[in-house]
A and B are shown apart, each in its own frame.
Chain A
Amino acid sequence: MDFGLLSDALAAFVGGGHAHFAFLGVMVGLTFGVVPGLGGTTALALLIPITYTMDPVAAMYLAGGSMGATSFGGSLTAILLNTPGTPPNAATTFDGYPLTCQGKAGLAIGASATASALGGLIGLLSLLIVIPLAREIIYLFGPPEFFLLTILCLVAIAVATMGKLLRGLIAAGFGLIVAFVGQDTVSGEMRYTGEIFYLWDGIPLVPVLTGMFAIAQMLVLGVQGGAIVADSHEKTRLTGVTAGISAVFRHWTHLLRGSAIGTIIGAIPGLGGVVASFFAYSSAAQTSSDPETFGKGNIIGVIAPESANNAKDGASLLPAVAFGIPGSAESALLLSILILHGIEPGPSILIENQREIYALILAITFSAVGASVIGLLAARWLMLITHVRAHALVPIVIALTLTAVYVLEGKLGDVIVCGIAGIIGYLMIRFDYPRLTFIIALVLGKTMEQAFQQSVTISDGNLIAYIAGRPTSVVLLLAVLATLAVPAVRGRRRRQTERGTKQA
C-alpha cells in the first residue's frame, strides 16, 4: 500500500485549513449517534445539501468525521440506557448495561471509547493493506457466499443465546417473518402488504430497533420507577474509566479479533454494521472459557462489538474505492456527495480521486479517535443520566426518540412501527425473550432469501454442486458446521470434567 499517499493526505489534513470540518463532523456524528433513531445515514443525508458549496476535500472531512463518530456516540446510550443509539450498538447493550446497573458505567465507557478508537485505527490499517487486493476479496463473495454468511450469522444466534436457545430461536423466527413483509426482491411479488404503500419496501430496521430497545427500555423504567442506578452518592464519582481503558489492552486478542471481524464483514457489500458487531460479540462469547459471564457485565462483551463497529467503517469503503459501487447505505451517500462535486464514482475512482478518497479515510479514522476522546472527557457528566429519576427521564427519551424516527424520512408510518415495536419489545423483556436475535433475523432475512434464490437460479437448482465448486463457499459451510458443533462439544467436555471431579 502506498503510505506516501497517506502522509500527503495527513499533511493536507493538518495544513490544508479544512480540519475544522472534520471536528464539526465529529460533533454532528456524536450527537446523531447518541440520539436513538438518528444515525450515520441520517447525519450524512442532512449534510449533503450543506456540502454543495464546499471544496470536495472539506466535504469529505465533514462526512467522514460524522460517519466515524456515530458508532461511539451510539455506544454511550447503549451502555447507559440499554438503548443502542444506532443499530450496530445493539450488541453492546448485552454487557454494557449490566455494567451500568452495577455502577460500573465508567469502566464500560472507558472500554468502549478505547475499543472504538483502536478499532478505527486497526480498520484503517487493514483497509490500507487490503486496498490492492480489494477486487479479489470482493470477487470471492457471490450469491452462494452471501447465503452461507447469513446462515452462519443465524447459527451464531443459537449459540449466543446460551440457556435461552428455544426463546432465541422463536424470536429469530418472528424476526424472519417480519423481514419477509414487502416486495419480494427477486420476483417483485407483494407479500403481506395489503393496499398499504408503506409496507411495500418492507418493515424498516431503524424504527423497529429504536422501538424495541429505546421505547421498550423506557417502558420498563417507567413501570419500575426509581433511577437506573438507584442509590448513588458514592457512585456518582467517575470511577473505572482508566480501568476500562486498560481492560482493552488486557484483552487485546478480543480487540484484534473484533477489529478483524469488523473489517471483513464491512468489506463485503450489503451486510452492514449490525452483523459485524453481533458477530464479534457472539464469537467472543462462543470461544470464551466462561461463557456464563456474558450478558451479566463482562467487559469483553463491550470491547468486541465496539472494536468491530469502528473497524467496519473504513472497510465498508472498499467496494466503493475498488469499483465505485457502494457497499453500505453510508457509502452510497458518500458517493452521492462526490457526484454532486463532479466526481464520477467508478473503477478508476481511487486513481483519479485519490485526494478525496484519502481525505475521507483519514477523516473517518480521525473521528473514531476524536469522538472517543470527547466521549471520555464528557463521561463524568454523561453518567449522571443514570441517576435521573424515571418520571423525568422516560418522557424526554420517548419524545426525543419518536421525533428522531419521524425526522428520519418524514413518514408517520415509521413512528407507528416504532410504537408497536416498543410494546412488543416491552413484552419480550417482560417474558424474557431475547430481542437481538429478532433484530438480527430482521436484518438478515431479505439478504438471505435473495442470495438463496439467486444461487438457485444461477445453478439451475443444483445448489449443492454449485457450492461444492466454490472454495469460499466450502470454507463458510465448514464454519457453519463448526459453529453448530460448539455447544455439543462444550457440553460433552463439561460432562467429562464433571465426571472427572466426581471420580476424584
Chain B
Amino acid sequence: MKIVATIIIVLLGIGSPTTNAAWPEDKPIKLIIPFGPGGFDSYARTLAPALEELLGAVVVPENVPGAGGRIAANTVYRARPDGYTIGLWSMPGMSLPAILGERVRYDLSKLTWIAQISFDSYALAVKGDSSIASLDDLCSLGRPASFAAQGGLTETASIATVIAMAELGCPYKLVTGYQSSGQATLGVMRGDVDARINPLGSLKPYVESGDVRLLVTFEQQAIYDGVPTIVDLGHREYEHFGLRRVVAGPPKLPAAIRDRLSAAFLDAMRTPRALAWSKETNNPFSPLDSAQTALAMQDVMRFYEQYGELLRSEFKGK
C-alpha cells in the first residue's frame, strides 16, 4: 500500500525535489509503524491528519511489519536525520532483544526521542467465572498457574509474566504461541489457561462485559473499585511496567526539527477529533514531550535491564 501512496505522491508532484521550501514542506514525512493494522496503526492514522495541518506537511503513515518490529526499528535508525523519517516504537518491546542477548542493529540510547503517545500499565486477569478470587488463590493452586501469551517466549507478553511472577514469588507456567493479543485473551475466556497479564486498555472491554475479571493492576493508583493495585498488596512499585507507544527519529536529528515534531505530536493529541477518538475507542493518550520521553525511556531500560539475568536464565534451553 505504501507503493501506491508513493506513486500518488510522485504523480501529484509532491515529491519533486526541485522546490526550495525548507523542512517539512518539500517532501512527505514518513511515519513508520512497526506492525500491521492494530493499536499502533490506529494511533498513527488518527494523529496523521492533525499532524499534517499543524506541520503544513504531508504525513504518510507507512506499515513496516516484520521480525517483531526490528525491520521498522532498523529503517528508522538508519534513516537520514533530516526529519522526513520518524517512527513509532514499542517499549519495552524494542529494548528487550538487546537485554536478552541478541545482537541488534540499533542503539536505543542514541535515538532522538520525540514524544510519548500512550502508556498502558499491565493488569492480571482471570476468566470471569473463575473460582480464583485473588492473587493468593492464583499462587496457591497446588500447581503452577498457567498464563496465556501471544507470540514466543521472548515477546513482551511473556516477559511481563516472567517478571511479575518472579517478583511475586508465584509458581507459573507459560502457554505461548497465541496468534494475537486478542486470541490469547480468548484463551483465558475459553479456559485454556488460568490467567493472563496484558495492558489494561486491551483487557478493559472484556472486564466490562464480565468475560474476564481483574485480580491486580500494576498501577500506582487504583482505577477499578475493588481491584487492588500491586502497591496495595504490599509489593514494590512498578511504575514502568506497561506498554508505551513512543515516537522517535534517527540519531542526531537536529534539535529544531525534533522540537517542532514534538510540539506537533502534543498538539495533535489535543485536537477534538483525536480526543473524541481516544475516548470512544478506549485508547488513552499519555503525552510526554521529547525531554520527558528521553528520561522515561532511560528509566524503562534500567527497569528491564535489572531483570536481564533472570530472563536470560529463564529462556536458556527452552
Contacts and interface: CB of A to CB of B under 8 A. Distances in A.
B228 to A, nearest CB: 24
A336 B42 contact: yes
B66 A270 contact: no
Interface string A296-308: 0000000000000
Contacts of B41: 336
B38 A332 contact: yes
B80 to A, nearest CB: 19
A142 interface: yes
Given A187-B176, A197-B66, A269 B45 contact: no
B37 A332 contact: yes
Interface stretch (A6-14, A123-131, A178-186, A496-504): A178-186
A346 to B, nearest CB: 3
A431 interface: no
A406 interface: yes
Contacts of A48: 1, 37, 45
Contacts of B176: 185-188, 454
Contacts of A457: 146, 173-175
Contacts of A336: 37-38, 41-42
A270 B146 CA distance: 22
Contact of B37 (A139, A323, A325, A333): A333
Interface string B174-191: 111111101101110111
A343 B281 contact: yes
A342 B180 contact: no
A403 to B, nearest CB: 9
A410 B37 CA distance: 16
Interface string A94-125: 00000000000000000000000000000000
Contacts of A139: 189-191
A315 B117 CA distance: 36
Given A332-B38, A336-B42, A344-B281, A185 B177 contact: yes
Nearest to B318: A187
A374 interface: no
B151 interface: yes
A76 B249 CA distance: 46
Contacts of B1: 42, 45-46, 48-49, 407
Contact of A458 (B46, B158, B193, B209): B193
A200 B42 contact: no
Interface in B198-224: 205-206, 208-209, 211
Contact of B186 (A187, A325, A409): A325
Given A45-B1, A406-B3, A410-B3, A344 B282 contact: yes
B304 interface: no
A188 B192 contact: no
Interface in B145-188: 146, 151-155, 158, 173-180, 182-183, 185-187
A85 interface: no
B45 A344 contact: no
A453 interface: yes
B220 to A, nearest CB: 25
Given A188-B152, A344-B281, A325 B183 contact: yes
Nearest to B6: A410
A347 B205 contact: yes
A290 interface: no
A459 to B, nearest CB: 10
Nearest to B148: A454
Interface in A279-325: 319, 323-325
A407 B211 CA distance: 40
B71 interface: yes
B70 interface: yes
B45 A49 contact: yes
A189 interface: yes
Interface size class of B (residues with CB under 8 A): 35 or more
Contacts of A46: 1, 4
User: Which of B74, B151, B176, B208 has the most chain A CB within a 10 Å cutoff?
Assistant: B176
A339 interface: yes
A253 interface: no
A324 to B, nearest CB: 6
Contact of A184 (B37, B61, B152, B180): B152
A344 B173 contact: no
B236 interface: no
Contacts of A45: 1, 37
Interface in B42-67: 42, 45-46, 49, 61, 65-67
A32 B138 CA distance: 50
A54 B183 CA distance: 29
Contacts of A138: 186, 190
A362 B251 CA distance: 50
Interface string B1-38: 11111000000000000000000000000000000111
A336 B43 CA distance: 11
B211 A453 contact: no
Nearest to A143: B192
A52 interface: yes
Contact of B152 (A187, A197, A342, A406): A187
B190 A201 contact: no
B225 interface: no
Given A269-B183, A336-B42, 11 more contacts: A142-B187, A189-B152, A197-B66, A197-B71, A201-B67, A269-B186, A323-B206, A406-B3, A450-B179, A457-B175, A458-B193
13 contacts: A46-B1, A48-B37, A142-B187, A185-B176, A188-B158, A200-B67, A319-B186, A340-B42, A342-B277, A344-B282, A346-B209, A348-B208, A407-B1
Interface of A: 42, 45-46, 48-49, 52, 138-139, 142-143, 183-189, 197-198, 200-201, 269-270, 319, 323-326, 332-333, 336, 339-340, 342-348, 406-407, 409-410, 450, 453-454, 457-458
Interface of B: 1-5, 36-38, 41-42, 45-46, 49, 61, 65-68, 70-71, 74, 146, 151-155, 158, 173-180, 182-183, 185-187, 189-193, 205-206, 208-209, 211, 276-277, 280-283, 315, 318
